[in-house]
């Protein structure tokens, strides 16, 4: 069978801008994965985004499956979100004082997320996770925390231990600058493996403040938990007097209206959120049982603060985004287009005899170039990253923008149509024929 030559992708302006950026910003970027190190080739420099698409500075258009790494769930530049933001600009972009919008978004979050009875807004997912860590320690009077290999919870010192995509991509197991004593208080278990958790609790009796996990992993690629795993963690934490925290920065309001905890029917004690609840503005949040949240200052003694926390722009974008997601059919649409996409990509790969395993839940998906199954980060390492890099470049040439790492999940939005998905599958079929 004749294999068509790849379309020519001209990225001259992207190259010029990235070259200059490398003199101005470390590695030319403000967040490492954006530099395309794990897929090779220079990064695409964006000019604008709208709906399911992004355009680069050379005028190339792509169907976008990164969605600003999750927030763009209503589609980029959703008109309703934009109009709400425009109206808010005239009233002020930052108050540093209470505003009613905080109550409105808090009520929406509390209504939807089973574990959340009270919430604190912050400005990033990293901030939410580091605050929740302090809260777990303050509440239990214990210092150790248990996380899972390959899960990312932002870049706070305690979490930069076996921390998934960003650090794997750079080949750094951990980061210099993290004190040994801090890293030593972070215990790591294997995802989907309750025995590894039980062993750590047995070896650190009465010392573990809490367990934090991505309830569906996105930072080692897309990995789903078994229901038994989540149920088992719930039981172990309750029995051991440890706090269970679901990091729903990525999965929150994406997997389901009530987040992954609603999807799986397991309620943690605390939850961290970000991305979607800011609708594209910088935001994060943590929440949970009132009894625990009342430890946070000024209600209680655990200090945590923020100049821009709860700022009216982020609250406005979050409120409008959750309102749109609350309409009938929103999650059905995400599930329908995303399942069609992942089924189509996997079928196309198999037609050309590539090993592949993957899946989706609602608007989050991923695939690995290996036989599978992939149930934890250790399994994910079997994936053929060199093939992923060729696939990624091939898809760019075909006008499809995928996350630039084998170890990242993909995202769809309400703006992605079946026609977008079918065009993506057709592109994947052409790329699979030539890689
Ligand atoms: N937790 C999870 C599960 C994430 O995926 C991320 C970011 O990708 C974070 C925390 C950190 O959030 P942020 O990048 O907003 O600091």
| pLDDT tens by residue, 339-358 | 999 999 999 999 999 999 99
Predicted interface score ipTM higher than 0.95: yes
Confidence of residue 167 (pLDDT cuts 50, 70, 90): low
At 206-244, the pLDDT tens digits run: 999 999 999 999 999 999 999 999 999 999 999 999 999
Instruction: Pick the closest to residue 256 from 366, 332, 339, 152 (CA basis).
Output: 332
Question: Please, what is the average pLDDT of the chain?
Answer: 95
Active site residue 275: yes
Confidence of residue 173 (pLDDT cuts 50, 70, 90): very low
CA of 145: how far to CAs of 164, 173, 248, in Å?
17, 18, 17
**Which ligand 1 atom sits closest to the C-alpha of 70?**
8
Ligand 1 midpoint to CA 274 (Å): 7
- Walk across the sheet containing 243-247 and list its strands: 118-122, 284-288, 270-274, 243-247, 208-213, 144-148, 186-189
Instruction: Pick the closest to residue 411 from 237, 185, 205, 252 (CA basis).
Output: 252
Catalytic: which of 64, 247, 269, 379? Answer: 247
CATH topology assigned to domain 79-325: 3.40.640
Task: Determine whether the shortest distance from the Cβ of 214 to ligand 1 is under 6 A.
Answer: yes
Active site residue 247: yes
Alpha-carbon gap, residue 189 to 48, rounded angstroms: 41
At residue 253, does pLDDT exceed 50?
yes
For the chain, give every domain's residue range: 79-325
| pLDDT computed for residue 178 by the predictor | 86
Active site residue 339: no
Pocket test for ligand 1, best of 129, 167, 279 (most atoms within 8 A of CB): 129
**Which ligand 1 atom sits closest to the C-alpha of 31?**
14
Phi, psi at 225, each rounded to 5°: -85, 155
| pLDDT computed for residue 168 by the predictor | 58
Find the mean pLDDT for residues 364-377.
97
Query: Degrees (nearest 5) of the Cα angle 30, 32, 38?
Result: 145
Q: Please tell me the residue having the least CA distance from ligand 1 atom 14.
A: 125
Angle between helices 312-325 and 330-351 (to 10 degrees): 80
């Amino acid at each position: 069978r004749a294999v068509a030559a790849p379309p020519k992708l001209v990225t001259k302006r992207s190259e010029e801008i990235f070259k200059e950026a490398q003199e101005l910003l470390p590695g030319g970027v403000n967040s490492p994965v954006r530099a395309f190190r794990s897929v090779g080739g220079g990064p695409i420099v964006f000019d604008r985004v709208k709906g399911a698409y992004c355009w680069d500075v050379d005028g190339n258009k792509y169907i976008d499956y990164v969605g600003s790494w999750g927030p763009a769930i209503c589609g980029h530049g959703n008109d309703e979100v934009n109009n709400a933001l425009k109206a808010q600009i005239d009233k002020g972009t930052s108050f540093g004082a209470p505003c009613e919008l905080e109550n409105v978004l808090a009520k929406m979050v509390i209504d939807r997320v089973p574990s959340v009875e009270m919430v604190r807004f912050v400005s990033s997912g990293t901030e939410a996770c580091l605050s929740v860590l302090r809260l777990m320690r303050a509440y239990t009077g214990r210092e150790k925390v248990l996380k899972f290999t390959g899960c990312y919870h932002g870049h706070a010192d305690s979490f930069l231990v076996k921390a998934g995509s960003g650090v794997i991509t750079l080949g750094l197991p951990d980061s210099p600058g993290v004190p040994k004593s801090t890293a030593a208080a972070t215990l790591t278990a294997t995802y989907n493996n309750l025995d590894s958790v039980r062993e750590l609790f047995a070896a650190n009796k009465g010392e573990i403040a809490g367990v934090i996990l991505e309830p569906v992993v996105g930072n080692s690629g897309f990995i789903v938990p078994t229901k038994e795993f989540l149920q088992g963690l719930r039981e172990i934490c309750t029995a051991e007097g440890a706090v269970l925290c679901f990091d729903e920065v990525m999965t929150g309001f994406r997997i389901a209206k009530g987040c992954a905890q609603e999807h799986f029917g397991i309620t943690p004690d605390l939850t961290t959120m970000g991305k979607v609840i800011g609708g594209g503005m910088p935001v994060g949040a943590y929440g949970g049982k009132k009894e625990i949240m009342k430890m946070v200052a000024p209600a209680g003694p655990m200090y945590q603060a923020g100049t821009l926390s709860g700022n009216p722009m982020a609250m406005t974008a979050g409120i409008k985004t959750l309102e749109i997601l609350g309409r009938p059919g929103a999650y059905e649409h995400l599930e329908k287009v995303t399942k069609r996409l992942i089924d189509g990509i996997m079928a196309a790969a198999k037609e050309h005899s590539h090993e592949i395993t993957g899946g989706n839940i609602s608007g989050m998906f991923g695939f690995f170039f290996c036989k599978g199954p992939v149930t934890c980060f250790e399994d994910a390492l079997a994936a053929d990253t060199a093939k992923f890099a060729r696939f990624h470049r091939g898809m760019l040439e075909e006008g499809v923008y995928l996350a630039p790492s084998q170890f990242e999940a993909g995202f769809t939005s309400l703006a992605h149509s079946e026609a977008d998905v079918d065009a993506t599958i057709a592109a994947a079929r052409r790329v699979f024929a030539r890689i």
